[in-house]
């Protein structure tokens, strides 16, 4: 019987020593090889070739050379290209899901239900925006023209590898930009599969280019490159700052989707039996490795014991284990450095005097191999504690009590971040009022369905610019005014 994970891996391995530049897979025989580790067992599953500065120059030159024609291509042609990309992704959805399991430990059920469908959603959203977009509008006799910005360099993270690629590449191509993509070196295999999909979809040579490498080398080179017109990064605050600094001398556009420490405010009238499990699972989605994860549950002090009991019961139903098993809820942390970070921050919470509701240091019982952690909940947390202020990026939830709504809002906003937020309550007017006061780029009221057209991005240190839908599309456009046009 064939192994789906191995079959998917074998399909991508022949391309790991190459870069995709100017419509071709280019061998990089002398390049440094970067290991890709399966976090469930520690095995090295691949080695990808790290592009050099010369390789980056070649990729940027290819994108620059393709820009004049692609930026003027008919909207219908760009829609057709994205429709072919969407169809091929859907056709290869299982292979993409299997590679995500292997390269970053996503549970196969979650990869199938979220990673791949959400990535498809971004491609579909770009198609829908482009289909209806007016690139020229009139204001009296003045024409307002929106034009593709140029060569877009895109840096994507390891935690949602495919999803973040399509969130950037799809609107960039829809806008008429040409692209150089650098995925995370920690989970690059789904990016290689995506590049092959773009190739098979018939993208013109040079329109899409893929170069692997580290952030300190390839990412820094992209930020500083004089022929790159825009750089978009999703990553850590440290990486975002370095990219912005590197881009400053060439005054290129920089968009950043960075860290988060998102609040989940449970109103006094909330149905705790319903919303607490939703909040726990939202915080632990993707093993807590989501920048918008609502990892601060802010609850009425009078309901603290009830919330703790429901949260503990919810965690007892979580299955941590082999990500290839259909029954698994949470797989391993995606890489060793992040695993160390999560364990360190759990220790910090204990040292700070927060009370463990469940979980704690070490691996779950029976999992003494791989990068597994115990789903952990702290209570009696104060807003000033490090575990309430710092992004942990693992399945660690803190419960913070409040005495009145104003205090709840103050706690929600007591952070350097401002990416996401949640409010749960029966009185919709009151929930709306709180949502309007939370200083974040996106707020969810009562756990709504995901909307790929809803703009996503941060206030404060969570970044600049927006992604998804119309707002994400327009990040890839320049605005030109032509007076006397009419």
Per-residue DSSP letters for 33-60?
EEEEE-TTT--EEEEEEPP-HHHHHHHH
What is the predicted pLDDT for the residue at 5? 81
Cα–Cα distances (Å) from 263 to 282, 287, 411, in that order, read: 11, 17, 8
Among residues 419, 341, 434, 422, the alpha carbon closest in space to that of 386 is found at 341
Q: What is the DSSP letter of 189?
A: H
How far from chain centre, in Å, is Cα 35? Answer: 22
Q: Is the pTM of this model over 0.85?
A: yes
What is the predicted pLDDT for the residue at 1? 59
Measure the CA–CA gap between 300 and 425, rounded to whole angstroms: 12
Instruction: Specify the length of the chain in residues.
Output: 486
Q: Which residues contact 96 (CB under 8 A, 6 or more apart)?
A: 8, 89, 111, 115, 116, 119, 162, 190, 193, 194
What is the predicted pLDDT for the residue at 51? 96
410 C-beta neighbours (distance < 10 Å), count: 14
Measure the CA–CA gap between 214 and 236, rounded to whole angstroms: 14
Beta bridge partners of 208: 179
399 C-beta neighbours (distance < 10 Å), count: 26
What are the structural domains of the chain? 4-258+462-482 (3.40.605.10), 263-454 (3.40.309.10)
| pLDDT tens-place values along the chain, 486 residues long | 568 888 888 989 999 999 999 999 999 998 999 999 999 999 999 999 999 999 999 999 999 999 999 999 999 999 999 999 999 999 999 999 999 999 999 999 999 999 999 999 999 999 999 999 999 999 999 999 999 999 999 999 999 999 999 999 999 999 999 999 999 999 999 999 999 999 999 999 999 999 999 988 999 999 999 999 999 999 999 999 999 999 999 999 999 999 999 999 999 999 999 999 999 999 999 999 999 999 999 999 999 999 999 999 999 999 999 999 999 999 999 999 999 999 999 999 999 999 999 999 999 999 989 999 999 999 999 999 999 999 999 999 999 999 999 999 999 999 999 999 999 999 999 999 999 999 999 999 999 999 999 999 999 999 999 999 999 999 999 999 999 999
Cα–Cα distances (Å) from 195 to 35, 75, 88, 169, 423, in that order, read: 19, 22, 11, 11, 38
Q: Is 129 exposed, middle or buried (0-12, 13-18, 19+ CB in 10 A)?
A: buried
Q: Is 341 exposed, middle or buried (0-12, 13-18, 19+ CB in 10 A)?
A: middle
Measure the CA–CA gap between 108 and 242, rounded to whole angstroms: 34
Task: Indicate the Cα dihedral angle 408, 296, 452, 144, nearest 10°.
Answer: 60
Q: Is 277 exposed, middle or buried (0-12, 13-18, 19+ CB in 10 A)?
A: middle
Measure the CA–CA gap between 336 and 35, rounded to whole angstroms: 12
Q: What is the DSSP letter of 204?
A: P
6 C-beta neighbours (distance < 10 Å), count: 12
- Please list the active-site residues: 257, 291
How far from chain centre, in Å, is Cα 401? Answer: 29
For the chain, give me the number of helices (H) and strands (E)?
A: 17, 20
């Amino acid at each position: 019987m064939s192994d789906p994970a191995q079959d998917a891996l074998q399909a991508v391995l022949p391309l790991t020593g190459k870069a995709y530049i100017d419509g071709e897979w280019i061998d990089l025989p002398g390049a440094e090889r970067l290991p890709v580790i399966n976090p469930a067992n520690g095995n090295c599953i691949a080695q990808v070739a790290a592009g050099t500065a010369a390789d980056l120059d070649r990729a940027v030159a290819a994108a620059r050379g393709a820009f004049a024609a692609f930026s003027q291509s008919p909207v219908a042609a760009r829609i057709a290209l994205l429709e072919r990309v969407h169809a091929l992704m859907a056709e290869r959805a299982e292979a993409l899901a299997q590679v995500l399991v292997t390269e970053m430990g996503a549970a196969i059920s979650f990869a199938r239900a979220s990673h791949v469908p959400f990535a498809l959603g971004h491609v579909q959203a770009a198609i829908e925006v482009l289909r209806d977009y007016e690139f020229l509008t009139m204001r009296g006799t003045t024409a307002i023209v929106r034009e593709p910005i140029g060569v877009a360099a895109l840096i994507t993270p390891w935690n949602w590898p495919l999803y973040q690629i399509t969130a950037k590449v799809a609107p960039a191509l829809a806008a008429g930009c040409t692209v150089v993509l650098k995925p995370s070196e920690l989970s690059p295999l789904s990016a290689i599969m995506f590049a092959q999909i773009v190739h098979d979809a018939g993208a013109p040579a040079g329109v899409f280019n893929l170069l692997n490498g580290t952030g300190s080398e390839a990412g820094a080179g992209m930020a500083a490159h004089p022929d790159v017109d825009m750089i978009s990064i999703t990553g850590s605050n440290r990486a975002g700052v370095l990219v912005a600094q590197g881009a400053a001398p060439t005054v290129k556009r920089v968009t950043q989707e960075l860290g988060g420490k998102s609040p989940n405010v449970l109103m006094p009238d909330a149905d705790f039996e319903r919303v607490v499990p939703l909040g726990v699972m939202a915080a632990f989605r993707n093993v807590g490795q989501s920048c918008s994860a609502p990892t601060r549950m802010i609850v009425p002090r009078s309901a603290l014991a009830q919330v703790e009991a429901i949260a503990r019961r919810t965690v007892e139903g979580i299955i941590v284990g082999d990500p290839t098993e259909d029954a698994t809820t949470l797989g391993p942390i995606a890489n060793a450095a992040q695993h160390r970070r999560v364990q360190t921050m759990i220790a910090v919470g204990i040292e700070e005097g927060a009370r463990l509701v469940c979980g704690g240091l070490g691996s779950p019982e029976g999992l003494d191999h791989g990068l597994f952690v115990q789903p952990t909940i702290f209570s009696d947390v104060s807003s000033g504690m490090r575990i309430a202020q710092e992004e942990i990026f693992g399945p660690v939830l803190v419960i913070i009590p409040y005495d009145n709504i104003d205090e709840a809002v103050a706690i929600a906003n007591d952070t350097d971040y401002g990416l996401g937020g949640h409010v749960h309550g029966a009185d919709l007017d009151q929930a709306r009022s709180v949502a309007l006061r939370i200083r974040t780029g996106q707020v969810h009221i009562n756990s709504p369905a995901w909307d790929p057209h809803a703009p996503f991005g941060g206030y404060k240190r969570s970044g600049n610019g927006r992604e998804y839908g119309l707002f994400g599309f327009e990040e890839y456009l320049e605005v030109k005014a032509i007076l006397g046009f009419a």
